[in-house]
Amino acid sequence: MSSAKSGLQHTSRSRQTESANQKRAQIVESAAALFDQVGYYPTSMDDIARAVDLAKPTLYHYFGGKDAILLGIHEEFIDLILSKRRERDEAGGDDISQELYEVMFDIFELMRTHRGHVRVFFEHHRELPEGSHESAAAKRDEYFRLVRRLFEIGQEKGELKGDPELSAMALFGMCNWAYQWFRPNGRFTTEEVARYFHSLLLHGIAA
Amino acid sequence: MSSAKSGLQHTSRSRQTESANQKRAQIVESAAALFDQVGYYPTSMDDIARAVDLAKPTLYHYFGGKDAILLGIHEEFIDLILSKRRERDEAGGDDISQELYEVMFDIFELMRTHRGHVRVFFEHHRELPEGSHESAAAKRDEYFRLVRRLFEIGQEKGELKGDPELSAMALFGMCNWAYQWFRPNGRFTTEEVARYFHSLLLHGIAA
């Protein structure tokens, strides 16, 4: 009886946690869209509360302030892109050209699926809550190292030339900058741009 | 006598204008540095007045508000880069590879000489004063067209392949993104990075 009861309590607690997680995710998503459209500074906690249809005190129950939501956006974004890379890294794909393509495609896909997150992620590091900068930077650094490593492996295998650090910066520049111009329903799909930039990275555009 | 007097007045007026222009330039420069270091929103007109050692009412005499200074930064930056390109365009250099190198080098040079302007230019379009968005966008578009035109000419001459629009976006991505990572006294000079990216753009890094 007691074990059945605690089982029920456990289930009910899990459900509560699940529902709280869903609510947090919803807040992060709506805030990301607002920050993207209106800007981080001009958006108030009132605006966010209104967007997710919550009373302001309830919003504060989930997030202690706007910077805490900003951190939520950062973490969701970096965790997503990092987990994609780690998975592929562990799968140990040894076709370096294909691995590079997948890095580029992942970034473009996030620009399509997490549009609101992207601008915020790139433009608002310094507004993150005090004490969170280091762990956020650590994840960004891990991601950068995983990608630079691909260029190093390519060089060790004799497939790539040049400086792995600068090549990684060129890749990130081409892909990340697209948040300034890429439109999901424009002339090119995410896949087309990723393929074009991948080919340019490897072979250039000299005829 | 009267013409000598008006000549004197004229000289004195020119000097006043010159001195006012210098003061405006100084305000723009200091504000750009503050916006880069502290951020556009957290910087107040008080902070700017203090940085240029002016009383606040005197600062308002030169600029009607923070967004007017933002516009000053935008205009100085786009006018600089546009005039470099126009000059080279009029000089009619027909070595497309060299022209592309110069575009890339110009952007990196501005990252060194106008560091404060760059972040502000890229991240704060939407905060420009009402009524100024169109003319600012027109200049950015002109610059983009001048650069895209180089890729088109390269293609007409049979020297380049691919899509001129996407190639221009790749060039801007590689170069513009550098405001996020390039440090003037780091491992690479502006010229080294410009040369590396130029070679990557044309020939890629496949061994």
**Following DSSP, what letter does each residue of A178-204 receive, concatenated?**
GGGT--TTSSS-HHHHHHHHHHHHHH-
User: In which band, very low, low, confident or very high, does the pLDDT at A126 lie, cut at 50, 70 and 90?
Assistant: confident
Are A104 and A194 a contacting pair, CB within 8 Å?
yes
Contact B204 A201 (CB under 8 A): yes
Last residue of a domain, one of B16, B41, B64: B64
Judgement on whether residues B141 and B121 belong to the same structural domain of the protein:
yes
Average pLDDT estimate for A68-76: 94
Mind listing the pLDDT tens digit for each residue in A131-173?
Answer: 888 888 999 999 999 999 999 999 999 999 999 999 999 999 9
Q: Which of A15-19, A39-43, A66-70, B27-31 has the lowest mean pLDDT?
A: A15-19
CATH number for the domain that contains residue B24: 1.10.10.60
Which residue's structure tokens are 């691919």?
B162
The ipTM estimated for the assembled molecules is 0.88
Judgement on whether residues B139 and B200 belong to the same structural domain of the protein:
yes
Q: Determine the Cα–Cα distance for residues A136 and A71; give it in Å rounded to an integer.
A: 8
Judgement on whether residues A153 and A85 belong to the same structural domain of the protein:
yes
User: In which band, very low, low, confident or very high, does the pLDDT at B1 lie, cut at 50, 70 and 90?
Assistant: very low
User: Does B93 score more than 80 pLDDT?
Assistant: no
* A158 vs B122, B173, B207: nearest CB: B207
What HEC string does A99-139 produce?
Answer: HHHHHHHHHHHHHHHCHHHHHHHHHCCCCCCCCCHHHHHHH
Which of A135, A140, A128 has its CA nearest to residue A70?
Answer: A128
More confident residue, B116 or A5: B116
Last residue of a domain, one of B64, B95, B113: B64
Range of the domain at B10: 1-64
Structure tokens at A162: 């040049």
User: In which band, very low, low, confident or very high, does the pLDDT at B11 lie, cut at 50, 70 and 90?
Assistant: low
Q: What is the pTM of this model?
A: 0.88
Are B111 and B118 a contacting pair, CB within 8 Å?
yes
* pLDDT at site A185: 86
Tally of structural domains, chain A: 2
Mind listing the pLDDT tens digit for each residue in B30-39?
Answer: 999 999 888 8
Which residue's structure tokens are 């608002």?
A124
Contacts of B188 in chain A (CB under 8 A): 166
Judgement on whether residues A73 and A164 belong to the same structural domain of the protein:
yes
Contact A177 B178 (CB under 8 A): no
Last residue of a domain, one of B64, B92, B111: B64
| 3-class secondary structure, B160 | strand
Which residue's structure tokens are 């967007």?
A51
User: Does B17 score more than 90 pLDDT?
Assistant: no
Contacts of B41 in chain A (CB under 8 A): 40-41
